[in-house]
Amino acid sequence: MTQARRWLELRVPAHAEAVEAVCEILTRVGHQGVAVDLPVEPRGGTDHTVKAYLLEDGEVVAKVNDVRDALGHLQAFGLGPIGELAVSQITEEDWLESWKAQFIPLRVGRFLVRPSWSESGIPDDAIEIVLDPGMAFGTGLHPTTQQCLVALSAIPLEARSVLDVGTGSGILAIAAAKRGASPVVAVDMDDLAVDAARENTTRNGVAIPVGLGSAADVPGRFEVVVANIVAPVLQRIASDLVARLAPNGLLIVAGISLPNEEATRRAFAASGLRALDRNLRDDWVALALSR
């Protein structure tokens, strides 16, 4: 049997005001973006937790040191308080058991998202998405994923082309395909996420090519482009996302914390897009943009 790979989990407690900046730092080393644990009842202080996962390899010590140094420099910007970096070792089996404890069937918009290990009755009006996230983020639990699922529930998708950038587990691409979108293409910068997304598209019986890369690596234009990525990355690739958008297309972006909303709007405005709709959930903003 193949020996389970070992990972390091990086955890940083942070004030809501500092979450986006901490996310940007952890995104530099995390294998597939970051996860943010939200407080059940906001209490101020370091009541959010930002997490990232690194494969243990020959560079992992240097990466952790780089993160620790960058977090130290961040304190000088006067954001809300940031706690100490905590590092712990996990295996992929630990990851799966953790998801099994947290990931339960969830109704979001038109979709019922359920883990592959759970059986659940499907309401007549629900579209089922079955996921095994593996080492990829994107289960429907995070507010930004829910914002995108709600958007994909509301807009017409039948026979429309869709591109999902930063697909993670593939949840948004699968949702679009199950609502009749065609063709649907998904990409991610992390090879483990690509593997998880490919497995999940097969699990859900939808034909979606999943490639390694970002918006700049995909040819052609799409009527709908979705990107659920942290705001600093959205700002950096804004022109690439717009380049993939058909003339009358719709761009849905999420992963934007409130402090980064204006900078993100400016980045897309510079590429000729304006916001048509805005959704706010737990201090996270999602935008629908078009020319």
Among 84, 86, 263, 252, CA closest to 165: 252
H/E element holding 271? Answer: none
Least confident of 14-18, 28-32, 44-48: 28-32
Q: Answer whether residue 4 shows pLDDT above 70.
A: no
User: Count of CB atoms within 10 A of residue 224's CB?
Assistant: 24
Tens-digit pLDDT profile for residues 215-236 = 999 999 999 999 999 888 999 9
H helices of 1-57, in order, are 19-27
Query: Residue 77: pLDDT band by 50, 70, 90 thresholds?
Result: confident
pTM (predicted TM-score): 0.75
Q: Which helix (H) or strand (E) holds 168?
A: none
The residue ranges of every structural domain in the chain are 6-97, 136-290
What percent of the chain lies above the pLDDT cut of 70? 88
CA distance 27 to 188: 13
State the burial class of residue 123 (Cβ atoms within 10 Å of its Cβ: 0-12, 13-18, 19+).
exposed
pLDDT, tens digit, for every residue of 155-188?
999 999 999 999 988 999 999 999 999 999 999 9
Judge whether residue 65 has pLDDT over 90. Answer: yes
Confidence of residue 199 (pLDDT cuts 50, 70, 90): very high
The amino acid that residue 80 corresponds to is: G
In CATH terms, is domain 136-290 a member of 3.50.30.30? Answer: no
* 5 secondary structure, DSSP code: P
pLDDT of 264 > 60? The answer is: yes
- pLDDT at residue 189 above 90? no
Place of tokens 């409130």: 258
Distance CA 88, CA 235 (A): 31
CATH topology of domain 6-97: Alpha-Beta Plaits (3.30.70)
Amino acid identity at 148: C
User: Can 6-97 and 136-290 be said to share one CATH topology?
Assistant: no
Per-residue pLDDT, 103: 62
